[in-house]
Amino acid sequence: MTVSSPVKPVTQLYRARQGEITPQMARVAEKEHVTGAFIRDEVAQGRLVIPANIGHGNLDPAGIGEGVTCKINTNIGGSPIRSSAEEELRKLELALALGSDAVMDLTVGPYIRDIRRTLLSRCPAPLGTVPVYEAIEQVDNPEDLTPDLIFSVIENQAKDGVDFMTVHAGLLRAHVPMAVNRLAGIVSRGGSLMARWMVCHHKENPLYTDFDRLLDICRRYDVTLSLGDGLRPGALADASDEAQFAELKTLGELVLRCREADVQVMVEGPGHVPFDQIAMNMQKEKEWCHGAPFYILGPIVTDIAPGYDHITSAIGATMGAFSGAAMLCYVTPREHLGLPNLEDVRQGVVAYKIAAHAADVARHRPGARDRDDRLSAARAAFRWDDVFNLSIDPQRARMMHEESHVRKEDIRKEFCSMCGEKHCAVKMSRSVRERLKDEG
């Protein structure tokens, strides 16, 4: 135990290890249809985290781990070029309405603290940040960052009630030369900042050298650490390379230090990864990071589809979740091109709800297919309103059905505009069944 703070930890991990089933664990158990004891044991082993800052008053806790349903995270936040607190609030509301399990505020620019506080007050889902984005606002250049500044931002964000924080603590000075000559270099904002700092100061990453300061804050507020992969590949060509895996090994080391300090921890993952390397990547994380929940971004399975990266990445995310990822960070169609607008957020969240759910079904999680079966039964019976209401995005499904009929009176009839009444297979199939039934 290297942490010096005399304060008794308040973390879910600490309490689980004491044998307690906290209200947060009980609520997660209820949502997942499992026992509180199961959740407690998963938390105690570090296989499941419940990001739940003691100061996030309106939180409805969620569990993130391979033992429960796969979760999705929605990134929102403005940039200096675009957006406002009001617009980001609309994105938050939409993401929550569509079923996002967690939200990260990635705002950069001068209004970062105001936007975060506004979002936190309206967000019952666990909310995450990347604190270095706020620290960098207070200096002119990355090299002007100081450890004191970084940790004071982290402490303030913890006080505000942030449930999980991405820190690029595993990106070491020795890793930087491995990454800069890649096809796409370092594509993580936080990662590139820390790399710049280390190269300018000829010093090790302060988040790594002063990791105990971080742990001390986290255990006092129960901030869950999300160990960022600053060297995630930003192109297929860079996937699974020396730089990526060197950092992953360091993250594994930090996982153990978090656990020693009773701090909840998950690990972030790639990035751009060819489809055939995804399962291997998940396997390596589980092994090297001691079963910590894996929180992955995509992965994107081809670089050639800007404008459609919600799809390139939902493909990779499904494979990732099927192979063991616990939470999927969404990607929108505007990735690589600009800041997502409200429609981009909608497309991204739905794509990831699909990926997470498809993986839950494929992993035979209890009851996962029930909603599919109910929707398909409604479809076979032409109960259109049930079809819409059981959909991930009822509003869009309803609109697409209605607008494709030329005649208003055809809407919600026993056919659709795809085949028309005479050619409807569903209708025809029913007539066959009835005929067979009549004949005994």
Stretch 18-77 residues interacting with a copy of itself (CB under 8 A): none
89 is a contact residue toward a copy of itself (CB under 8 A) = no
The correct pick among 122, 249, 377, 414 for binding a copy of itself (CB under 8 A) is 377
The string of DSSP codes covering 294-362 is EEEE--BS-SS-TT-HHHHHHHHHHHHHHTT-SEEE---TTTTTS---HHHHHHHHHHHHHHHHHHHHH
How many beta carbons lie within 10 A of that of residue 296, not counting itself? Answer: 30
* Cα–Cα distance measured from residue 40 to residue 403, given in angstroms and rounded to the nearest whole number: 49
The residue within the footprint of a copy of itself, chosen from 159, 376, 385, 414 (CB under 8 A), is 376
CB proximity list for 72: less than 8 A, separation 6 or greater: 99, 100, 101, 102, 327, 328, 329, 330, 349, 352, 353, 355, 356
Those residues with Cβ within 8 angstroms of residue 413's Cβ, 6 or more apart along the chain or in another chain: 382, 421
Strands (E), 123-186: 127-129, 164-167
Q: Tokens in use for 211? A: 């990791």
Which residues is 437 bridged to in the sheet? none
Q: Minimum CB separation from a copy of itself for residue 12, in Å?
A: 31
Task: By CB under 8 A, tell whether 113 contacts a copy of itself.
Answer: no
Q: Which residue in 200, 204, 366, 385 binds a copy of itself (CB under 8 A)? A: 200
Residue of the chain from 69, 188, 224, 244 that contacts a copy of itself (CB under 8 A): 188
* 274, 365, 382, 412: residue in contact with a copy of itself (rule CB under 8 A): 274
CA angle 375, 380, 381 (to 5 degrees): 95
Token readout for 95 is 């993401």
Q: How far is the CB of 47 from a copy of itself (least distance, A)?
A: 22
What residues contact 21, with CB distance under 8 A and at least 6 apart? 29, 36, 37, 39, 40
Q: Which of 318, 325, 327, 331 binds a copy of itself (CB under 8 A)?
A: 318
By beta-carbon proximity to a copy of itself, the closer residue of 215 and 227 is: 227
Which segment (38-46, 121-129, 144-152, 357-365) binds a copy of itself by CB under 8 A? 357-365
Work out which of 199, 210, 328, 367 binds a copy of itself, going by CB under 8 A. Answer: 199
> Using CB under 8 A, which residues numbered 282 to 301 contact a copy of itself?
301
Is residue 280 part of the contact set for a copy of itself (CB under 8 A)? no
Locate tokens 């804050």: which residue? 217
Instruction: Please identify which residue in 133, 294, 295, 330 interacts with a copy of itself, judged by CB under 8 A.
Output: 133
127-129 vs 327-329, strand pairing mode: unpaired
The answer to whether residue 205 forms part of the interface with a copy of itself (CB under 8 A) is: no
* Cα torsion 152, 155, 161, 165: sign: positive
Which one of residues 46, 234, 269, 291 is an interface residue with a copy of itself (CB under 8 A)?
Answer: 234
Alpha helices (H) in 225-277, listed in sequence order: 242-260
Whole-number Å distance between alpha carbons of 23 and 54? 12
| Residue 308 found at the interface with a copy of itself (CB under 8 A) | yes
Interface region with a copy of itself, contact rule CB under 8 A, candidates 87-95, 116-124, 186-194, 206-214: 186-194
Binding part of the chain for a copy of itself, among 46-54, 157-165, 215-223, 232-240 by CB under 8 A, reads: 232-240
Q: Does 363 bind a copy of itself (CB under 8 A)?
A: yes
Write the CB contacts of 27 (distance below 8 Å, at least 6 apart in sequence): 60, 61
Does 149 help bind a copy of itself (rule: CB under 8 A)?
no
Based on the shown chain and the rule CB under 8 A, indicate whether residue 304 belongs to the binding site for a copy of itself.
yes
> Which of 10, 85, 178, 235 touches a copy of itself by CB under 8 A?
235
As a whole number of angstroms, the distance between CA 423 and CA 288 comes to 56
Q: Is there a contact between 138 and 112 (Cβ–Cβ < 8 Å)? A: no
Q: Does 390 bind a copy of itself (CB under 8 A)?
A: yes
Asked if residue 419 binds a copy of itself (CB under 8 A), the reply is yes
Q: Would you count residue 339 as binding a copy of itself (CB under 8 A)?
A: yes
Asked if residue 430 binds a copy of itself (CB under 8 A), the reply is yes
Contact flag: residue 380 with a copy of itself (CB under 8 A) = yes
Question: How many residues interact with a copy of itself (rule CB under 8 A)?
Answer: 116
